[in-house]
């Protein structure tokens, strides 16, 4: 598709009606700063879909996830724009968060280091049962039975023994399975996983990814997975949101993003791994570094690092449709044409 045939996407993401989660035009600025850390992000996750969010450290992946969960510390930031729609109900994030009864219930989150989320003073069984009791009520014996079932579901052997153990007695991979069991306690519609396998060795990492993949197939749960690792993306993602400097610069089905990356930043990230059939490796290093938020350039935030930048790039590029479900925010995408015109 040539650049003059592309059409700007009006407002938010185009999403299927089956979307469980939809975030539209989300902008957040931390207090004391003049530049928004997250700037006009739109994304969506449908039933059974795994959306991977990738981008360099500091690009706003966790802040976005925590904002969806309503977990950012109160008073530290202001939401300047953003609608969150979950299971068909919309919330204006400038004024409200997702209702707290949905958190840990319909929508659950797991983190990179499970030890920080598990309470060292309580047994595994007590912690899973607590999550069940909190949202479903019932007796403690029923909750413990459910906890046992969940341990089996997440592939933990000797579940009766594990129920009685404390987090320090478990390996890192086992702790992450327990966290997933807690997340699944109330059959969530959406799982947000913030680098859930980064702290694990490669074999355990693969097992946890397989588990998440199986769960979405079995339960239809949607997943938003934050990762630095393109191997993870290639293995598990249905769609990808590439973030840079607090913005989604490219978004689309995983095959399309790997086969036909159009944003210079995505192309840079992919350069170490341009093909879906050659997975492996973390994000390639794009020359230069992300400016501090206060020094973020106006217009295209990538322009201080982009080999193709020119004066046009002082204007902010809007997300444009670049194919089916594929959108890209660069004045000159697809780049081949720009390079040919310049040559």
Ligand X SMILES: Nc1ncnc2c1ncn2[C@@H]1O[C@H](COP(=O)(O)OP(=O)(O)OP(=O)(O)O)[C@@H](O)[C@H]1O
Candidates 13, 27, 44, 62: give the one binding ligand X (CB under 6 A).
62
Candidates 22, 29, 61, 331: give the one binding ligand X (CB under 6 A).
61
Candidates 58-66, 78-86, 275-283, 317-325: pick the segment binding ligand X (CB under 6 A).
Answer: 58-66
Gap between the Cα atoms of 280 and 298, Å rounded: 34
Applying CB under 6 A, does 150 fall inside the site for ligand SF4? no
Minimal distance, residue 315 CB to ligand X, in Å: 24
Restricting to residues 297-336, name those near ligand SF4 by CB under 6 A: 300, 302-303, 306, 308-309, 313, 317, 330-332
For residue 112, count other CB atoms closer than 10 A to its CB.
Answer: 17
Q: Report helix angle 140-153 to 172-184, nearest 10.
A: 120
Q: Encode 332-341: b = buried (16+ Cβ within 10 Å), e = exposed.
A: bbbbeebeee
Gap between the Cα atoms of 265 and 244, Å rounded: 8
Q: Which does 57 bind (CB under 5 to 8 A by kind): ligand X, Mg ion, ligand SF4, none?
A: ligand X
Minimal distance, residue 240 CB to ligand SF4, in Å: 17
Applying CB under 6 A, does 67 fall inside the site for ligand X? no
- How far is residue 78 from each of residues 35, 57, 62, 253, 283, measured CA to CA in Å? 11, 22, 16, 31, 31
- How far is residue 327 from each of residues 158, 233, 305, measured CA to CA in Å? 47, 18, 21
Gap between the Cα atoms of 242 and 224, Å rounded: 13
**Residues 26, 65: contact at Cβ < 8 Å?**
no
Minimal distance, residue 296 CB to ligand X, in Å: 10
Applying CB under 6 A, does 285 fall inside the site for ligand X? no
216/331 with CB nearer ligand SF4: 331
Restricting to residues 240-269, name those near ligand SF4 by CB under 6 A: 263-264
Applying CB under 5 A, does 64 fall inside the site for Mg ion? no
Minimal distance, residue 113 CB to Mg ion, in Å: 11
Looking up tokens 């700063």, which residue turns up?
A: 33
125/231 with CB nearer ligand X: 231
189/301 with CB nearer ligand SF4: 301
Give the interface with ligand SF4 as residue ranges (CB under 6 A): 263-264, 300, 302-303, 306, 308-309, 313, 317, 330-332
Give the interface with ligand X as residue ranges (CB under 6 A): 30, 37, 55, 57-63, 76, 293
């Amino acid at each position: 598709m040539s650049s003059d045939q592309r059409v700007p996407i009006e407002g938010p993401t185009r999403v299927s009606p089956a979307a469980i989660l939809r975030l539209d035009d989300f902008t957040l600025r931390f207090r004391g700063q003049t530049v928004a850390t997250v700037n006009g992000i739109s994304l969506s996750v449908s039933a059974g879909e795994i959306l991977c969010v990738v981008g360099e450290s500091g690009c706003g992946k966790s802040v976005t996830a925590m904002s969806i969960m309503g977990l950012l510390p109160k008073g530290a930031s202001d939401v300047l724009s953003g609608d969150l729609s979950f299971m068909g109900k919309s919330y204006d994030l400038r004024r409200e968060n997702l209702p707290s009864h949905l958190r840990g219930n319909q929508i659950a989150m797991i983190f990179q280091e499970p030890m920080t989320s598990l309470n060292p003073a309580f047994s595994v069984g007590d912690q899973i049962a607590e999550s069940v009791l909190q949202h479903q009520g019932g007796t403690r014996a029923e909750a413990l039975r459910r906890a046992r079932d969940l341990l089996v579901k997440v592939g933990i052997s000797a579940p009766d023994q594990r129920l009685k153990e404390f987090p320090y007695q478990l390996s890192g991979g086992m702790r992450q399975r327990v966290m997933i069991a807690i997340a699944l306690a109330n059959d969530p519609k959406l799982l947000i996983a913030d680098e859930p396998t980064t702290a694990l060795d490669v074999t355990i990492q693969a097992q946890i990814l397989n588990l998440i993949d199986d769960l979405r197939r079995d339960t239809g749960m949607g997943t938003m997975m934050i990762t630095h690792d393109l191997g993870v993306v290639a293995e598990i993602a249905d769609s990808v949101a590439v973030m840079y400097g607090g913005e989604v610069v490219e978004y689309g089905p995983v095959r399309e993003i790997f086969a036909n990356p159009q944003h210079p930043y995505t192309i840079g990230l992919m350069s170490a791994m341009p093909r879906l059939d050659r997975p492996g490796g973390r994000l390639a290093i794009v020359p230069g570094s992300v400016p501090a938020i206060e020094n973020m350039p106006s217009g295209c935030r990538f322009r201080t690092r982009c080999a193709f930048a020119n004066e046009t790039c002082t204007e902010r590029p809007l997300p444009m449709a670049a194919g089916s479900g594929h959108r890209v925010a660069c004045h000159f995408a697809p780049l081949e044409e720009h390079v040919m015109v310049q040559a």
